[in-house]
A = this chain, B = another copy of it.
Amino acid sequence: MLKQIVVTTRQQGLHEVTQEIEAAVRSAGLREGLCTLFLRHTSASLLIQENADPSARRDLERWLNRLVPEDDPLYTHRTEGPDDMPAHIKSALTAVTLSIPINDGRLVLGTWQGVYLWEHRHCGGRREVVIHIAA
């Protein structure tokens, strides 16, 4: 079973999508199975990360922005703006697909795990996540 969610991002950072994914899983009506997420973009990521303290997510973003800064003279790919090449690198260092088992009709996420779309552009816009659910 295939579904799709759309996340509209207007700034860099982690946008939580746990509720949308859980809703798709519920509507599939499977007690056990596997939910696979696929992001159709190369300048954003899918991430499972701490959902409790927002300071952890902020530090994560700040750390990655320092590792992959916008003003790096190494970049030759600049036509789409200074945040484009860093976004591709960040996407390569993280994930664009995630597979999460389903048990009792719910994702088997740990207590402190949330699912996030990590936008790496300043104005990402419409981001599509395809969801595949099967037994």
Contacts and interface: CB of A to CB of B under 8 A. Distances in A.
A92 B53 contact: no
A75 B100 CA distance: 29
B88 A56 contact: yes
A85 B59 contact: yes
Interface in A85-132: 85, 88-89, 91-101, 103, 108-110, 112-113, 128, 130-132
Contacts of A103: 2, 130
Query: For the side of the interface on A, what is the size category?
Result: 35 or more
A23 interface: no
B34 A132 contact: yes
A36 interface: yes
Contact of A66 (B74, B99, B109): B74
A35 to B, nearest CB: 10
Contact of A42 (B49, B84, B89): B49
Contacts of A67: 67
21 contacts: A33-B132, A33-B134, A38-B99, A38-B108, A41-B112, A42-B49, A48-B97, A49-B88, A56-B84, A56-B88, A59-B75, A59-B85, A59-B89, A60-B88, A63-B74, A66-B74, A93-B94, A97-B100, A101-B130, A101-B131, A134-B135
